[in-house]
Chain A
Amino acid sequence: MDLKFTRTTCPYCGCGCEMLLETMDGKLVGTLPSKTNPMNQGKLCIKGWNVHEFVQSPNRLTKPLIRKNGELQEASWDEALDFAASRLKEIKDAHGGDSLAFLTSAKCTNEENYLFQKFCRVGFGTNNIDHCARL
Protein backbone atom coordinates (compact mmCIF):
# COMPACT_ATOMS: atom_id res chain seq x y z
CA MET A 1 0.00 0.00 0.00
CA ASP A 2 1.52 3.27 -1.10
CA LEU A 3 -0.27 6.33 0.35
CA LYS A 4 0.92 9.73 -0.89
CA PHE A 5 -0.13 13.38 -0.58
CA THR A 6 0.71 15.85 -3.32
CA ARG A 7 0.39 19.57 -2.64
CA THR A 8 -1.22 21.41 -5.55
CA THR A 9 -3.68 24.19 -6.49
CA CYS A 10 -7.43 23.94 -7.11
CA PRO A 11 -8.36 24.10 -10.80
CA TYR A 12 -11.79 25.71 -10.37
CA CYS A 13 -12.14 29.33 -9.32
CA GLY A 14 -9.67 32.20 -9.03
CA CYS A 15 -9.34 31.95 -5.23
CA GLY A 16 -6.41 29.61 -5.76
CA CYS A 17 -6.90 27.35 -2.74
CA GLU A 18 -4.05 24.93 -2.18
CA MET A 19 -4.93 21.30 -1.56
CA LEU A 20 -3.41 17.89 -1.01
CA LEU A 21 -4.34 15.21 -3.50
CA GLU A 22 -4.42 11.85 -1.77
CA THR A 23 -3.22 8.91 -3.86
CA MET A 24 -3.24 5.23 -2.98
CA ASP A 25 -1.14 2.96 -5.20
CA GLY A 26 -1.15 5.54 -7.97
CA LYS A 27 -4.91 6.17 -7.87
CA LEU A 28 -6.57 9.35 -6.65
CA VAL A 29 -8.69 8.64 -3.60
CA GLY A 30 -9.39 12.03 -2.05
CA THR A 31 -8.69 15.71 -1.58
CA LEU A 32 -7.71 17.56 1.60
CA PRO A 33 -7.32 21.31 2.14
CA SER A 34 -3.87 22.74 2.74
CA LYS A 35 -3.59 24.06 6.28
CA THR A 36 -0.50 26.17 5.71
CA ASN A 37 -1.73 28.22 2.75
CA PRO A 38 -2.70 31.70 4.02
CA MET A 39 -5.49 31.93 1.47
CA ASN A 40 -7.64 28.93 2.38
CA GLN A 41 -6.24 28.05 5.84
CA GLY A 42 -7.49 24.48 5.93
CA LYS A 43 -10.73 25.07 4.09
CA LEU A 44 -12.15 24.22 0.66
CA CYS A 45 -15.55 24.70 -0.92
CA ILE A 46 -17.71 21.84 -2.19
CA LYS A 47 -16.09 21.99 -5.62
CA GLY A 48 -12.60 21.77 -4.14
CA TRP A 49 -13.42 18.86 -1.81
CA ASN A 50 -14.62 16.81 -4.78
CA VAL A 51 -11.98 17.82 -7.27
CA HIS A 52 -10.52 14.31 -7.64
CA GLU A 53 -13.79 12.98 -9.03
CA PHE A 54 -13.73 14.55 -12.49
CA VAL A 55 -10.10 13.55 -13.00
CA GLN A 56 -11.09 9.88 -12.98
CA SER A 57 -14.36 10.25 -14.85
CA PRO A 58 -14.97 7.46 -17.38
CA ASN A 59 -15.83 10.24 -19.84
CA ARG A 60 -12.23 11.48 -20.01
CA LEU A 61 -10.67 11.50 -23.46
CA THR A 62 -7.96 8.87 -23.58
CA LYS A 63 -7.00 8.70 -27.26
CA PRO A 64 -6.51 11.24 -30.07
CA LEU A 65 -9.46 11.45 -32.46
CA ILE A 66 -9.52 12.27 -36.18
CA ARG A 67 -12.63 12.98 -38.21
CA LYS A 68 -13.00 10.36 -40.94
CA ASN A 69 -16.11 10.11 -43.12
CA GLY A 70 -17.78 12.68 -40.92
CA GLU A 71 -17.10 10.84 -37.66
CA LEU A 72 -14.48 11.25 -34.95
CA GLN A 73 -12.42 8.05 -34.79
CA GLU A 74 -9.57 6.97 -32.55
CA ALA A 75 -6.10 7.44 -33.96
CA SER A 76 -2.47 7.22 -32.86
CA TRP A 77 -0.61 10.28 -31.62
CA ASP A 78 1.68 10.16 -34.65
CA GLU A 79 -1.18 10.11 -37.07
CA ALA A 80 -3.18 12.85 -35.29
CA LEU A 81 -0.23 15.19 -34.75
CA ASP A 82 1.17 14.76 -38.27
CA PHE A 83 -2.24 15.37 -39.77
CA ALA A 84 -2.89 18.44 -37.60
CA ALA A 85 0.56 19.90 -38.28
CA SER A 86 0.22 19.42 -42.03
CA ARG A 87 -3.27 20.97 -42.16
CA LEU A 88 -2.08 24.01 -40.19
CA LYS A 89 0.89 24.35 -42.53
CA GLU A 90 -1.28 24.06 -45.64
CA ILE A 91 -3.64 26.77 -44.44
CA LYS A 92 -0.78 29.05 -43.44
CA ASP A 93 0.99 28.57 -46.78
CA ALA A 94 -2.19 29.10 -48.81
CA HIS A 95 -3.78 32.01 -46.91
CA GLY A 96 -1.14 33.44 -44.56
CA GLY A 97 -0.79 33.28 -40.78
CA ASP A 98 -3.66 35.70 -40.15
CA SER A 99 -6.08 33.12 -41.56
CA LEU A 100 -5.60 31.10 -38.36
CA ALA A 101 -6.90 31.84 -34.89
CA PHE A 102 -5.91 30.46 -31.48
CA LEU A 103 -7.93 30.16 -28.29
CA THR A 104 -5.76 29.66 -25.24
CA SER A 105 -7.09 28.63 -21.87
CA ALA A 106 -7.86 30.05 -18.46
CA LYS A 107 -7.83 26.40 -17.29
CA CYS A 108 -4.33 25.51 -18.45
CA THR A 109 -1.08 26.31 -16.66
CA ASN A 110 1.01 29.45 -17.19
CA GLU A 111 3.64 27.32 -18.92
CA GLU A 112 1.06 25.95 -21.39
CA ASN A 113 -0.41 29.38 -22.06
CA TYR A 114 3.06 30.75 -22.68
CA LEU A 115 3.99 28.01 -25.14
CA PHE A 116 0.65 28.22 -26.91
CA GLN A 117 0.93 31.95 -27.57
CA LYS A 118 4.54 31.48 -28.63
CA PHE A 119 3.45 28.78 -31.09
CA CYS A 120 0.83 31.16 -32.48
CA ARG A 121 3.03 34.27 -32.66
CA VAL A 122 6.27 32.65 -33.84
CA GLY A 123 4.84 29.80 -35.90
CA PHE A 124 2.20 31.81 -37.71
CA GLY A 125 3.32 35.44 -37.37
CA THR A 126 -0.13 36.43 -36.15
CA ASN A 127 -1.53 37.88 -32.92
CA ASN A 128 -4.88 36.16 -33.41
CA ILE A 129 -4.90 34.75 -29.91
CA ASP A 130 -7.49 35.21 -27.19
CA HIS A 131 -9.28 33.30 -24.44
CA CYS A 132 -12.34 33.36 -22.24
CA ALA A 133 -11.07 36.13 -19.90
CA ARG A 134 -14.06 38.18 -20.81
CA LEU A 135 -16.58 35.35 -20.60
Chain B
Amino acid sequence: MNVTGTPPDDYPALELIDVVKEYPGAPPVRALDGVNLSVAQGELAAIVGPSGSGKSTMLHVMGTLDRPTSGSVRIAGHEVSSLSDRRLSAVRSALVGFVFQQFFLLDGDSAIDNVATGLLYSGEPLRKRRAAAATTLDRVGLGHRLHHRPNELSGGERQRVAIARALVARPALVLADEPTGNLDSKTSDSIQQLLHELHDEGATIIVVTHDNDLADSLPRQVRFRDGRIEHDSAWVSQ
Protein backbone atom coordinates (compact mmCIF):
# COMPACT_ATOMS: atom_id res chain seq x y z
CA MET B 1 0.00 0.00 0.00
CA ASN B 2 1.24 3.39 -1.01
CA VAL B 3 1.60 5.65 2.02
CA THR B 4 3.39 8.76 0.89
CA GLY B 5 2.79 8.71 -2.80
CA THR B 6 -0.17 10.03 -4.70
CA PRO B 7 -2.91 7.41 -4.82
CA PRO B 8 -4.62 6.99 -8.14
CA ASP B 9 -8.01 8.62 -8.47
CA ASP B 10 -9.96 5.40 -8.30
CA TYR B 11 -9.17 4.63 -4.66
CA PRO B 12 -12.21 4.89 -2.41
CA ALA B 13 -12.27 7.97 -0.20
CA LEU B 14 -12.56 5.61 2.76
CA GLU B 15 -12.17 1.90 3.32
CA LEU B 16 -12.62 0.01 6.58
CA ILE B 17 -11.66 -3.67 6.58
CA ASP B 18 -12.53 -5.89 9.57
CA VAL B 19 -12.24 -2.96 11.93
CA VAL B 20 -12.51 -3.88 15.61
CA LYS B 21 -12.41 -1.34 18.42
CA GLU B 22 -12.35 -2.56 21.98
CA TYR B 23 -12.30 -0.27 25.01
CA PRO B 24 -10.38 -1.85 27.86
CA GLY B 25 -12.33 -2.61 31.02
CA ALA B 26 -13.86 -5.53 32.81
CA PRO B 27 -15.41 -6.75 30.69
CA PRO B 28 -13.96 -4.87 27.68
CA VAL B 29 -16.48 -2.98 25.53
CA ARG B 30 -16.36 -4.00 21.90
CA ALA B 31 -17.63 -0.77 20.33
CA LEU B 32 -16.79 -1.87 16.77
CA ASP B 33 -17.08 -5.56 16.05
CA GLY B 34 -15.67 -6.30 12.60
CA VAL B 35 -16.80 -3.40 10.44
CA ASN B 36 -16.32 -3.46 6.67
CA LEU B 37 -17.25 -0.33 4.77
CA SER B 38 -16.20 1.38 1.59
CA VAL B 39 -17.15 4.95 0.71
CA ALA B 40 -16.40 6.11 -2.80
CA GLN B 41 -15.17 9.56 -3.68
CA GLY B 42 -18.02 12.00 -3.93
CA GLU B 43 -20.44 9.96 -1.82
CA LEU B 44 -22.79 11.44 0.76
CA ALA B 45 -23.69 8.81 3.36
CA ALA B 46 -25.59 8.72 6.64
CA ILE B 47 -24.65 6.50 9.55
CA VAL B 48 -27.61 5.78 11.81
CA GLY B 49 -28.31 3.49 14.71
CA PRO B 50 -29.38 3.43 18.34
CA SER B 51 -27.45 5.19 21.04
CA GLY B 52 -24.35 3.28 22.06
CA SER B 53 -24.20 1.29 18.84
CA GLY B 54 -20.71 2.59 18.00
CA LYS B 55 -21.38 5.40 15.51
CA SER B 56 -19.16 8.01 17.15
CA THR B 57 -16.46 5.45 17.77
CA MET B 58 -16.46 4.61 14.09
CA LEU B 59 -16.34 8.26 13.08
CA HIS B 60 -13.29 8.73 15.32
CA VAL B 61 -11.58 5.68 13.85
CA MET B 62 -12.41 6.80 10.30
CA GLY B 63 -10.98 10.22 11.04
CA THR B 64 -7.81 8.84 12.69
CA LEU B 65 -8.69 10.49 16.01
CA ASP B 66 -8.61 6.98 17.45
CA ARG B 67 -6.91 3.76 16.38
CA PRO B 68 -8.71 0.50 15.72
CA THR B 69 -7.77 -2.43 17.97
CA SER B 70 -7.42 -4.42 14.77
CA GLY B 71 -8.31 -4.11 11.12
CA SER B 72 -7.41 -1.72 8.41
CA VAL B 73 -8.40 1.92 7.76
CA ARG B 74 -7.58 3.52 4.42
CA ILE B 75 -8.22 7.11 3.55
CA ALA B 76 -7.91 8.03 -0.12
CA GLY B 77 -5.77 4.91 -0.52
CA HIS B 78 -3.46 5.64 2.41
CA GLU B 79 -3.25 2.90 5.03
CA VAL B 80 -3.45 4.87 8.26
CA SER B 81 -4.00 2.29 11.00
CA SER B 82 -0.28 1.82 11.61
CA LEU B 83 0.92 5.42 11.30
CA SER B 84 2.66 7.32 14.10
CA ASP B 85 0.77 10.01 15.97
CA ARG B 86 2.68 12.66 14.06
CA ARG B 87 1.81 11.17 10.69
CA LEU B 88 -1.83 10.85 11.73
CA SER B 89 -1.85 14.58 12.45
CA ALA B 90 -0.71 15.12 8.88
CA VAL B 91 -3.53 12.88 7.64
CA ARG B 92 -6.08 14.90 9.60
CA SER B 93 -4.61 18.18 8.43
CA ALA B 94 -4.59 17.23 4.75
CA LEU B 95 -7.26 14.57 4.19
CA VAL B 96 -10.02 14.83 6.81
CA GLY B 97 -12.45 17.57 7.80
CA PHE B 98 -14.57 17.29 10.96
CA VAL B 99 -17.92 18.79 11.87
CA PHE B 100 -19.10 18.39 15.47
CA GLN B 101 -22.46 18.62 17.15
CA GLN B 102 -21.14 21.32 19.52
CA PHE B 103 -19.47 23.27 16.65
CA PHE B 104 -16.31 23.83 18.77
CA LEU B 105 -15.67 27.32 17.42
CA LEU B 106 -13.04 29.50 19.10
CA ASP B 107 -15.02 32.19 20.91
CA GLY B 108 -12.34 34.85 20.60
CA ASP B 109 -11.99 34.51 16.82
CA SER B 110 -14.19 35.92 14.05
CA ALA B 111 -15.89 33.59 11.57
CA ILE B 112 -13.15 34.04 9.00
CA ASP B 113 -10.41 33.32 11.55
CA ASN B 114 -12.26 30.25 12.80
CA VAL B 115 -12.46 28.92 9.27
CA ALA B 116 -8.81 29.84 8.58
CA THR B 117 -7.88 27.68 11.60
CA GLY B 118 -8.82 24.75 9.36
CA LEU B 119 -5.60 25.49 7.44
CA LEU B 120 -3.49 26.49 10.46
CA TYR B 121 -1.55 23.22 10.57
CA SER B 122 -1.01 23.01 6.83
CA GLY B 123 1.82 25.54 6.86
CA GLU B 124 -0.03 27.97 4.58
CA PRO B 125 0.67 31.63 5.33
CA LEU B 126 -2.06 33.62 7.05
CA ARG B 127 -2.95 35.66 3.98
CA LYS B 128 -3.69 32.53 1.95
CA ARG B 129 -5.57 30.93 4.85
CA ARG B 130 -7.77 34.01 5.17
CA ALA B 131 -8.42 34.17 1.44
CA ALA B 132 -9.43 30.51 1.34
CA ALA B 133 -11.56 31.02 4.46
CA ALA B 134 -13.41 33.94 2.87
CA THR B 135 -14.11 31.90 -0.27
CA THR B 136 -15.34 28.94 1.75
CA LEU B 137 -17.54 31.05 4.01
CA ASP B 138 -19.04 32.56 0.91
CA ARG B 139 -19.72 29.06 -0.38
CA VAL B 140 -21.68 28.08 2.76
CA GLY B 141 -23.68 31.30 2.48
CA LEU B 142 -21.92 33.36 5.15
CA GLY B 143 -20.08 35.81 2.90
CA HIS B 144 -21.77 38.62 4.84
CA ARG B 145 -20.71 37.37 8.29
CA LEU B 146 -16.92 37.15 7.88
CA HIS B 147 -16.04 39.29 10.87
CA HIS B 148 -18.71 38.23 13.31
CA ARG B 149 -17.73 36.34 16.42
CA PRO B 150 -19.44 33.05 17.30
CA ASN B 151 -21.53 34.75 20.01
CA GLU B 152 -22.90 37.11 17.35
CA LEU B 153 -24.08 34.23 15.15
CA SER B 154 -27.16 31.99 15.29
CA GLY B 155 -26.79 28.25 15.87
CA GLY B 156 -27.27 27.50 12.20
CA GLU B 157 -24.72 30.12 11.21
CA ARG B 158 -22.24 28.70 13.71
CA GLN B 159 -22.63 25.25 12.22
CA ARG B 160 -22.10 26.72 8.76
CA VAL B 161 -18.86 28.28 10.00
CA ALA B 162 -17.83 24.87 11.38
CA ILE B 163 -18.69 23.22 8.04
CA ALA B 164 -16.66 25.83 6.19
CA ARG B 165 -13.74 25.12 8.54
CA ALA B 166 -14.01 21.39 7.71
CA LEU B 167 -14.04 22.14 3.98
CA VAL B 168 -11.41 24.85 3.74
CA ALA B 169 -8.45 22.47 3.32
CA ARG B 170 -10.33 20.59 0.55
CA PRO B 171 -10.15 17.26 2.40
CA ALA B 172 -10.72 13.88 0.79
CA LEU B 173 -13.30 13.13 3.45
CA VAL B 174 -15.65 15.21 5.59
CA LEU B 175 -16.92 13.55 8.78
CA ALA B 176 -19.86 15.05 10.62
CA ASP B 177 -21.06 13.79 14.04
CA GLU B 178 -24.67 14.88 14.67
CA PRO B 179 -24.24 18.16 12.77
CA THR B 180 -27.90 19.06 13.34
CA GLY B 181 -28.09 17.71 16.88
CA ASN B 182 -28.09 21.16 18.47
CA LEU B 183 -30.29 22.87 15.86
CA ASP B 184 -34.03 23.37 15.51
CA SER B 185 -35.79 21.62 12.63
CA LYS B 186 -35.93 24.64 10.34
CA THR B 187 -32.20 25.30 10.75
CA SER B 188 -31.54 21.57 10.37
CA ASP B 189 -33.27 21.68 7.02
CA SER B 190 -31.00 24.43 5.80
CA ILE B 191 -27.89 22.51 6.93
CA GLN B 192 -29.30 19.44 5.16
CA GLN B 193 -29.72 21.59 2.06
CA LEU B 194 -26.11 22.75 2.35
CA LEU B 195 -24.82 19.17 2.65
CA HIS B 196 -26.64 18.29 -0.57
CA GLU B 197 -25.14 21.27 -2.35
CA LEU B 198 -21.64 20.33 -1.22
CA HIS B 199 -22.30 16.76 -2.37
CA ASP B 200 -23.36 18.09 -5.76
CA GLU B 201 -20.05 19.94 -5.95
CA GLY B 202 -18.19 16.67 -5.38
CA ALA B 203 -17.36 16.57 -1.67
CA THR B 204 -17.26 13.19 0.10
CA ILE B 205 -19.29 13.45 3.29
CA ILE B 206 -20.20 10.96 6.00
CA VAL B 207 -22.84 12.08 8.48
CA VAL B 208 -23.58 10.36 11.79
CA THR B 209 -27.12 11.34 12.75
CA HIS B 210 -30.18 10.55 14.81
CA ASP B 211 -32.21 12.81 12.58
CA ASN B 212 -34.32 10.47 10.39
CA ASP B 213 -35.36 13.26 8.02
CA LEU B 214 -31.74 14.08 7.37
CA ALA B 215 -30.68 10.44 7.05
CA ASP B 216 -33.51 9.59 4.68
CA SER B 217 -32.70 12.54 2.47
CA LEU B 218 -29.12 11.35 1.89
CA PRO B 219 -28.22 9.03 -1.02
CA ARG B 220 -26.90 6.25 1.25
CA GLN B 221 -27.73 5.01 4.77
CA VAL B 222 -25.61 2.70 6.89
CA ARG B 223 -27.38 1.34 9.99
CA PHE B 224 -25.41 0.28 13.05
CA ARG B 225 -26.35 -2.05 15.88
CA ASP B 226 -24.05 -3.31 18.62
CA GLY B 227 -20.89 -2.38 16.81
CA ARG B 228 -21.84 -4.00 13.55
CA ILE B 229 -23.36 -2.75 10.33
CA GLU B 230 -26.91 -4.08 10.43
CA HIS B 231 -27.94 -2.63 7.11
CA ASP B 232 -26.35 -0.63 4.31
CA SER B 233 -28.57 0.83 1.59
CA ALA B 234 -25.67 0.23 -0.81
CA TRP B 235 -26.23 -3.55 -0.41
CA VAL B 236 -29.75 -3.24 -1.72
CA SER B 237 -28.91 -1.12 -4.71
CA GLN B 238 -26.14 -3.53 -5.77
Mutual binders A and B = no
Q: Show the binding face of A for B, using Cβ within 8 Å.
A: none
Chain B residues with CB under 8 Å of chain A are none
